[in-house]
Amino acid sequence: MFQPLGFEQRSIITSLGRMTYFTNEGSPWQNHNSASADKDTLVFLHGFGGGSSAYEWSKIYPAFAAEYRIIAPDLIGWGRSEHPARNYRIEDYLTSIREFLQQTCNQSVIVIASSLTAALTIRVAIAHPELFKSLILTAPAGLSDFGEDNSNNFFAQLISIPILDRLVYSTGIATKEGIRSFLEQRQFAQPSRVYEEIVNAYLESAQQPNAEYAALSFVRGDLSFDLSLYIQQLTTPTAIIWGQKSQLTGPEIGRRLAQMNPQAIRIFQLLDDVGLTPQLEQPAVTIGLIRQFLPLLS
């Protein structure tokens, strides 16, 4: 796996299994700075998709390591974390995100999250507002927003067939060609921005034992929900970044969600020529926006 300089791997045990995370406890971050306990904490949560992991934010969080305590986990079923052989449900991730924050953080934190995980994080923040100081989210969507149902598409139906689903995963998703195609067609606005390191990082995560369970649950739509039914209950100060060329979850969905709760959602920033993961496609711009938003949300 890919681990930035100065970041150490740690783990905790949740009710669903062991969660691995990366934190800035190594050199050079701890050489001349105050102890981590004295700093605010930034928690980076990756989205879902074939081969997703904390790598998704690895071009972003080192930029904040001198000023903040950084925590970037692999969610259950992804990356280096445990991969229980089960069909995953929404409640599994609501529970594991909550438990992870409760175990790793002794005060409210700033969470930076993407896509469906960002939408799940909103639900955790609604249920447990004391855990959160603010939210910075990229394309937070439940994938069934405003009554839309994406689980009836051909591919979702195909992988609902037992045995065939795992065959499709091993031959069509968890391969170098499958990962590159997924990134170029679903995640990025410009395929030329998908370089070898990104493909290899996603591939390594996708080929972990039992990695297919979480990925197939996501593609089947088992983790999707209508965020518009919850968004008005959010009270945590929030900023949203949305790529103009996000697949499946276009910016019009983001605008509608943001307009439902302007008291909490203080910033909605559209990015031209960017897809679902600006943190990988335009990392320098994403870092700049996060730096701009942090004081505005405090």
Domain range list for the chain = 8-297
Mapped onto helix, strand or coil, the DSSP state of residue 102 is helix
- Pairing label, strands 109-114, 132-138: parallel
Q: How far is CA 166 from the centre of its chain?
A: 24
Model pLDDT, residue 27:
87
| Euclidean distance between CA atoms 1 and 202, whole angstroms | 9
Q: What CATH architecture is 8-297? A: 3-Layer(aba) Sandwich (3.40)
pLDDT digits (tens, 9 = 90+) for 50-100: 899 999 999 999 999 999 999 999 999 999 999 999 999 999 999 999 999
Model pLDDT, residue 150:
64
pTM of this prediction?
A: 0.95
Tell me the one-letter amino acid at 15.
S
CA atoms within 13 A on the CB side of 152: 4
| Euclidean distance between CA atoms 292 and 298, whole angstroms | 11
| Euclidean distance between CA atoms 180 and 168, whole angstroms | 16
| Euclidean distance between CA atoms 69 and 291, whole angstroms | 15
Average pLDDT over residues 132-147: 97
CA atoms within 13 A on the CB side of 288: 7
Element (H, E) at 125: helix 115-127
Average pLDDT, the chain: 93
Residue 48 per-residue DSSP state: -
Model pLDDT, residue 159:
55
The Cα angle at residue 188 between residues 210 and 244, in degrees rounded to 5: 125
Model pLDDT, residue 55:
98
Tokens linked to 62: 């080192």
pLDDT digits (tens, 9 = 90+) for 149-205: 765 565 555 556 665 677 888 888 899 999 999 999 999 999 999 999 999 999 999
Segments in 144-233 forming alpha helices (H) = 154-158, 164-168, 176-182, 196-206, 211-220
Element (H, E) at 14: strand 8-14
Question: Over 90: is that where the pLDDT of 46 sits?
Answer: yes
